[in-house]
Structure 1
Amino acid sequence: MDHRVMKTLIVDDEPIARRVLREELETVPAVIIVGEAENGKQALQQIAALRPDLVLLDLQMPVMGGFEVVRKLGGGHLPVVVIVTAFDQHAIEAFEAGAVDYLLKPVGEKQLRRAVERARKLSESPSAVADEVARIASVETRKIVGRNGEEYVLLDPDEILAFQAEGELVWIVTAKQRFLATQSLRVIENHLKEQQFRRVHRNAIVNVNHVRKMSALSSQRWLVTLSNALQVVVSKRQAHNIRNVLRW
């Protein structure tokens, strides 16, 4: 059976992860590895120069993450994108967004072969590839993954009032209920740094659009009240920044 040859680019900041993918891809029929990139910036350059049919794309990378790479593809060459990640919440996001497939590290040979074959079929329709890229590009800015028991829920950032850490757990607070986060506060803060969320304490991040009142606890510490009446302490270190953001 003839297979369309898939020119493939591997994008991952971890050399070992790239090597594992390279060795496994070498066993897949009709796949040519045209290049490797260790960060998002290199990935964009190589996508433009090498015009691969398939990109195996890690999400958590320095310089530029995987979602930002997809968003910046724009009107140039659009390859099929398969998300590769060690983080379950990103796999769920990619799956819900309609990605052709996602691979969880460590990647198994069977899963990789399946992903390549699905990508091969998708690559026959440029419009389908474009639709998929658009869906993946919208994932990071639109959804936050929360856990409710054994279920994973996709939340719109606008409905999230706050993130609160309790020991090793991080809770996502909405107007109606709480969900268990799948990331640390530090990762969440970086993930949402260009949106309406601000760190107010080492244990809390709030959605400034849901702040309804700010009261002084002392000359240097404040208390913010959110739209669901939840009160969160603002540390001395963060008080000035929060007042500037709120213009209070």
Structure 2
Amino acid sequence: MDITQTTDTSTTAALGLLAGKVAFITGAGRGIGAAAARLFAREGARVLLAARTEAELKAVTEEVRAAGGTADYAVCDLADSASVRAAVDRTVALYGRLDVAFNNGATNLPPGPMDQVRESDFDQVYAVNLRGTWAAMAAEVDAIRATAGTGAIVNNSSVGSLGGNPILPAYGAMKRAVNSLTESAAVTYGPEGIRVNAIAPGTTLTEMIRAWNDSSPGIVDQLNAHTPLRRAADPEEIAQAAAWLLSDRASYVTGTVLPVDGGMQAA
């Protein structure tokens, strides 16, 4: 076993966490994905934003450019595998390579017990949150192999995947499956130098959680009461964890599902 190999990250540290990298981000029109697009660009990456809503993508892209970053976008429906691969291919066509990817895009469904979940809702959350993540990972691995050669992928899971989830059972099940895909991919592609990790956010002040709080007043306060830090995260706090895992500073981290939850899982 070679115990002398190290990774020199001093240059990257000086230039930015993701300096010189090309990053692909799903669900980038709002929430955690939009925060990631802004952050990754500030940290030196050229970013390709993907989501379903062009107006949101355009707004975030223009914001990144106005701040001096390099960004473009592709309209992408995670439930459509061909659309996902086309968005990844567009990244390579624009920037010549793919180094890192953040599979953040997801959909939710109304809260309630398992027997009240409609089959159509279950199918939709499966198509986007699980099959869409699988399709994105497959396309990203192909693109990294063909261009950068080595790289990193981070999947956005949920603290709700780490135990029983009676409030969002289908959502939790799909995110737990994403954790399994993450671990399997890490084992499969690690020998090629492609790292794959996931983050498991706790309560985060995104449009999705605000809508849930509107339909179930007080739910954020209830969640915060079970969170040792006693507050919800800002989307950028979640994006920071993804950025680190994608960066060379996490060069020996793969196959992990990292809770970013204010201590909720430990409580």
TM-score interval w.r.t. the shorter chain? Answer: 0.3 to 0.5
The structure whose RCO (Cα within 8 Å, separation 6+) is larger is 2
**TM-score, structure 2 as length reference:** 0.33
Higher percent of residues as strand: 1
